[in-house]
Amino acid sequence: MSNKATLSYNEKTYELNIHPGTMGDEAVDITNLMGDSGLITLDSGYKNTGSTKSKITFIDGDKGILLYRGYPIEQLAEKSNFLEVSYLLIHGELPTDVQMAEFSGSISNHTLVHENVKKFLDAYPSNTHPMGVMMAVICSLSSFYPNNANPKTSPEEVEVTIHRLMAKMATIAAWTFKKSMGHPYNYPNNKLGYVSNFLQMMFGLRTDDYHPDPIIVDALDKLLILHADHEQNCSASTVRMVGSSHVNLYAAIAAGIGALWGPLHGGANQEVIEMLENIKAAGGDVKKFIEKAKDKNDPFRLMGFGHRVYKNFDPRAKIIKQSCDQVLAKLGINDPVLDIAKQLEEAALNDPYFIERKLYPNVDFYSGIIYRAIGIPTEMFTVMFALGRLPGWIAQWKEMREMGEPIGRPRQLYLGNGPRDYINIQKR
C-alpha cells in the first residue's frame, strides 16, 4: 500500500501522507492542506472525516466487528463485568486483582452525593425528562469538587474525579427516578456490587430490603458493557470537543449527556419502545410501518434501525436480542412488543429499501425490551445508555487530554453575503 496520496488543483500537485491503522484502516492526512493549497475539506456530519487517532475502540462496520482495547465485545459481554470493562477502557489493560479491588473499592467510597443535590432534584417539575436532570446535576458536581479534572489537576486528582463520576452518576440516576415517582431516595449500600447497588437505589424502599434477582443483575451488567464505548460517536466526539477547551471533566461529560439525549443517538432506545407500542396499538401491522419508513414524504423512521458505521448487523444488537429471549423466559415475561420487534426486523431485512441502504437493527432496537422487563420506565432508557457510556466518554476524554490535542475548531465554507454598507431600513 502507498503511504502517499496526491491532490492536483490549479495546475499544482500536493502530496498528502497516508497513515495506516492497526486493523487495515487508513487515513489521508490533511493537516497542511489549507496552508499549502488554501483549500479546506467539506464533510457534513463528518461521515468521511477522522477527528483523532485513538487506541480505545475499533469498529468494522462492514464485518460487524467491535473491539474494546482489542477484546471482542462478544467475549467481554460473556466473560467480563461492567466495572472491569470500565477499567479496561479507561486504563487500556484489564486490571489485576489489586487494581480491580482499588478501582471498585474507591468507586464504592464515592457513591454518596452532597445532600444539597436533593434541592436540585426537588426544584424540577415531576414530569421533567431525566436526561435534562442528569445533564444539569452532573455538571453541577464541578461546583461541589473544586479540584476539578482539568489540565492543572494532578493525575491522582483526575483518577479520583473519574471514580467520583462513575459512582455518583449511578446514585444521581437512581435518585432522579425516585424523584419522578414521588418516592423517598434510597441511599447507596456499599456492601453491594455496582449493578446491585444501582438496582437497590432504584427499586428498594430501604437500603436493606431489596435483593435483586441475579438474572436481572447479569442482564443489566451485560447491557452496560455493550453500551460502554463506541469510538467517535456523536456524544463521545462532543465530550472530546468540549474537553479540548480544557474545561473540567464534569462539564465535558454533561455535554456528552446532552448529545446522547437526541432521538437520532441514544434517545432512540426510548423512541423504539414508543414506536413498537404505537404499532401494537395500531393493530400490529408491521408492513404498514415498513412502508411509512420508506416513504420520503412521511417523517416516520424505523427507530433502532440503521447506523452511520455498521452496514451489517450491529454486534451489540445480536447479543441484546439473544439476551432478550433469555431474560424474558427466565423471568416468565411474555412481552408482545418483543414479537412485534422481531416481525419488524424480519420484514425490514427482507425489504429492498433496507437491504440497499444496509439498514440493520442497532444497539437501541432491542435494549428497551430488557429495560422494561427489569422494571425500568421508558423515560429512563437513555439514562441507562448514559450510565453504560460513561466509562467510554471518560476514556475518550482521558486519551484526548494525554495526547495533548489542540482545541477543536473546524473551518467552514461561507455562503453568506459579501461585504455591504449599513443602511437603516427601519422607519424612524
Across the chain, which distance is largest between two alpha carbons, in Å? 78
**Which of residues 178 and 307 has its CB atom nearest to ligand SDX in the complex?**
307
List 221, 229, 314, 364, catalytic entry: 364
Q: Is 285 a catalytic residue?
A: no
List 230, 265, 307, 314, catalytic entry: 307
What is the 8-class DSSP label of residue 46? G
**Which of residues 15 and 295 has its CB atom nearest to ligand SDX in the complex?**
295
Q: Rounded to whole angstroms, how far apart are CA atoms 248 and 230?
A: 22
Q: Rounded to whole angstroms, how far apart are CA atoms 341 and 273?
A: 9
Half-sphere exposure of 181 (CA within 13 A, CB side): 20
**Which of residues 129 and 316 has its CB atom nearest to ligand SDX in the complex?**
316
Q: Rounded to whole angstroms, how far apart are CA atoms 183 and 165?
A: 24
**Which of residues 88 and 113 has its CB atom nearest to ligand SDX in the complex?**
88
**Which of residues 168 and 307 has its CB atom nearest to ligand SDX in the complex?**
307
Q: How far is the CB of 379 from ligand SDX (least distance, A)?
A: 17
Set of cell numbers at residue 105: 473499592
- Cβ neighbours around 123 below 10 Å, total: 10
Q: How far is the CB of 266 from ligand SDX (least distance, A)?
A: 6
Q: How far is the CB of 275 from ligand SDX (least distance, A)?
A: 10
Q: Rounded to whole angstroms, how far apart are CA atoms 279 and 285?
A: 7
Q: Is 307 a catalytic residue?
A: yes
Q: How far is the CB of 226 from ligand SDX (least distance, A)?
A: 9
Q: How far is CA 199 from CA 370, 393, 427, in A?
A: 14, 23, 64
What residue ranges bind ligand SDX (CB under 6 A)? 45, 230, 233-234, 264-266, 268, 293, 301-309, 357, 359, 362-364
Residues in the chain: 428
β-strand partners of 4:
17
Which residue sits closest to ligand SDX, CB atoms considered?
306
Set of cell numbers at residue 148: 476539578
Q: How far is the CB of 303 from ligand SDX (least distance, A)?
A: 5
Catalytic residues: 307, 364
